[in-house]
Structures are given as structure tokens and as C-alpha cells.
Amino acid sequence: MTRDEQLKLQAWLDGELPESERQAWAARWAEDPQAQALLEELRLVQGTLRRFDEGQLRVPETREFYWSRIARAIEAGAGPAPAPVTRGLWQWLLEWKRWLAPAAVLASLAVVLTLSLPGHGQSDYPEVHVSQADNYATTYRDDERLLTLVWFSYPPESP
């Protein structure tokens, strides 16, 4: 199916095609399995969107009245007082994460560079591979012992 045919199918499902085109396209898609699969998928998405829309909160006033009330409150300078901010240790760490993460990377880099300087003899330990796939997972691999460990360090979920 071409992109134009897919768009026609979506317009057909939404009832946006003229009646003359609607019947011709319906007959054509009845024989096309790819069109039937796309049609089924579009119907599922349409049903999901309808269920989502039904759960939306409705404002009892009209749109104009609602926004005019907000505008009057802004002009009057009235509004709810901001809630006091209480910060725990985890919230503080999450806020400082953008500074602590680069600092930890720089410190790690400094350690690696220091250990790789000449004068540091061969170690008695086997060669170890450590890689970091993303910011929250680190993989440790020891080929000699056939050992692989993965550490996950996801940030705590906020309540």
C-alpha cells in the first residue's frame, strides 16, 4: 500500500471521503489483506482514543467564562499561595544529579589516567572489561573466570 492509499483508508474510516469514492475504495480494500490489517489497527487506535476522551475531566463553565475568571485572578494578583517546598535527601540528589554525574565521570577518568601512567607495574589481577551501556547499567566481564555481572542503578521513583 502506498502512503496515499493509507491516508485514503484513514479518511474512509473517519467518514471524510465523498460517497462516490467511499464505495469504490471499500470494494478495493475488501480484497487487500494489508489494508484489512491497517484498518483493524486504525479501529483499535480510534477506540482507544475514544475511551481516553471519555475519561477527561470537563469544566462545568463555558470556555470563555473559565478563561476570563483566570484572567481576572491574574489581574487582581490573587491566586493560591505556593505550597511550601520540603526537600528530602533523594530530591536534593536528583536536583544535583546533573552536576554530580559529570563530576563522577571526571573523577573516574582521573583515576584511570593516573593508573595508566608509566611506573605502575603489571597487576596480579586478570584483565577485566567494564562497559557502561547507559547511565543506569554497568557491565563487568572477566574472561578468565567466565564471569559477567551487570549492575543496575536506577534513580529512586518519586512518590
Between 84 and 69, residue with greater pLDDT:
69
- Residue 121 is predicted with a pLDDT of 52
Domain parsing of the chain, residue ranges = 1-78, 126-159
With 0-12 CB in 10 A as exposed, 13-18 as middle and 19+ as buried, what is 9? buried
Q: Which residues pair with 138 in a beta bridge?
A: 132, 151
pLDDT above 80 for 67: yes
Q: Is the separation of the CB atoms in 81 and 48 below 8 Å?
A: no
- Residue 129 is predicted with a pLDDT of 60
Fill in the DSSP letter of residue 144. T
Across the chain, mean pLDDT equals 77
- Residue 51 is predicted with a pLDDT of 78
Q: Is the separation of the CB atoms in 9 and 43 below 8 Å?
A: no
Model-level pTM? 0.34
Residue 59 pLDDT class (50, 70, 90 cuts): low
Q: Is the separation of the CB atoms in 10 and 43 below 8 Å?
A: no
- Residue 93 is predicted with a pLDDT of 67
Quickly name the fold that domain 1-78 has: Arc Repressor Mutant, subunit A (1.10.10)
